[in-house]
Amino acid sequence: LLSLGTGTTSEFDKTHTAEETAKWGALQWMLVIQQMTEAASSYMADYYLSTVFQDLHSQNNYLRVQENALTGTTTKADDASEANMELLAQVGENLLKKPVSKDNPETYEEALKRFAKLLSDRKKLRANKASY
């Protein structure tokens, strides 16, 4: 299973003072709650799938690819400007060089190549079985 995320911001790493939050209206609070819910949902789905694949001793059959520190215009899903597309392409290029996780020093580039070979080998195996 190759799970491709749309990216998240590091917005929740930022702290707010009581004075700041006291000025927030209902809309700001609703946006914060929505962001937290979406982030938690994405994280929990990834955690659940990762755990299931580990329990099945198939952790090499699951790869989640997602940038978790988007900033600026790259966080805007409705900005399809050429400049933003170039920024997003650069985010993807940079992500390829990052390690998959703290526990897995393999880069995303290495992991995707390994994953592609695994899928290709399995397709060839199925094609060979079908030709008998």
The total number of structural domains that make up the chain: 1
- pLDDT of 121 reads 94
What pLDDT shows up at residue 12? 53
Cβ proximity of 100 and 108 under 8 Å: yes
* One pLDDT digit (tens) per residue for the chain, 132 residues: 888 877 777 655 567 788 888 888 888 888 777 777 776 777 788 888 888 988 998 888 888 898 888 888 888 878 899 999 999 999 999 999 999 988 889 999 999 999 999 999 999 999 998 877
Task: Give the residue numbers spanning the domain of 45.
Answer: 2-130
Q: How many helices (H) and strands (E) does the chain have?
A: 4, 2
Q: Which of 87, 66, 65, 61 is nearest to 76 (CA)?
A: 87
Its pTM stands at 0.68
C-alpha 125/C-alpha 7 separation (Å) is 34
Give CA–CA dist 33/105, Å, rounded: 33
Measured CA to CA, the distance from residue 71 to residue 65 in angstroms comes to 17
